Amino acid sequence: MDFTKTAEALKKRGYEVSCFSAGAEAAAYLNGKIDGMTVGFGDSETLLQMHLFEMLQTHNDVYHPKYPREGKNFYSTAKDCLTTDIFLLSANGLAETGEIVNIDGTGNRIAGSLYGHKKVYFVISRNKICPTLEEAAFRARNVAAPLNAERHGYKTPCAIKKDRCYDCRSPQRICSAQTIYWRKMNHTEMEVVLIDEDMGY
């Protein structure tokens, strides 16, 4: 996939951009860049597939809500992730015009991406990229969210039917909030890592 248009749009919005042909290459790049730091993770199937947690924890102080330390749980670990040097997450949609879209149920992933870190990395594979913001937002809600709900074993209408958002009132609903990143946040370094491979949802 040619990332030229998307990369240029992201750069105009203040992001650093790096492009890779495969997830393994991107993982090696991040493993080399992030060293001797505190690192927080937002929930991401893409990052899990890249085995970044396992790589980074060998030479960093890493926090991941999916893997809480002894005496910790998901929520306390998610709070720890909010004040790390580095925060890693993916996206539910990325427009070729440079807007990034994320949906969150608990809020820790979106919160961690907005403030509190020296640098934030958005790791985004090609299947998340859409021509317009409208299509990226549609993808986030009607493609990514149902697949993520199913991944977590939830019984929401979207997870069961696997076709679209039903704007349900289920207590297991994972789309409590949607964030559109119009540009890089002020006073925080942000880099978008683009991967020419289908990964995550």
Q: Is residue 94 part of a domain?
A: yes
If you ran DSSP here, which 8-state letter would residue 39 be given? E
pLDDT score recorded for residue 187: 96
- pLDDT score of 178: 97
The pLDDT value recorded for residue 179 is 98
- pLDDT value at residue 195: 99
The CA–CA distances, whole Å, from 38 to 34, 63, 65, 118, 197 equal: 9, 8, 14, 10, 28
pLDDT digits (tens, 9 = 90+) for 46-102: 999 999 999 999 999 999 999 999 999 999 999 999 999 999 999 999 999 999 999
Report yes or no on 174 lying in a domain.
no
pTM for this prediction: 0.96
pLDDT at 13: 99
Domain annotation covers residue 88: yes
Domain membership flag for residue 152: no
Following DSSP, what letter does each residue of 40-108 receive, concatenated?
EE---HHHHHHTHHHHHTTTSEEE-TTSPPTT--HHHHHHHHTTSSEEEE--SEEETTS-EEEEESSSH
Question: Looking at the 3D structure of the chain, how many domains does it have?
Answer: 1
20 occurs within a structural domain = yes
Query: Domain range holding 93?
Result: 4-129+182-195
> Is residue 112 assigned to a domain?
yes
d(CA 96, CA 178): 18
Regions of the chain where pLDDT drops below 70: none
In a domain, 11, yes or no: yes
> From CA 6, how far away is CA 18, in angstroms rounded?
11
Half-sphere exposure in the Cβ direction for 108 (13 Å, CA): 23
Q: What distance in Å separates the CA atoms of residue 176 and residue 70, rounded to the nearest whole number?
A: 29
The CATH number linked to 49 is: 3.40.50.10420
Residue 150 lies in a domain: no
Q: What pLDDT score does 162 carry?
A: 87
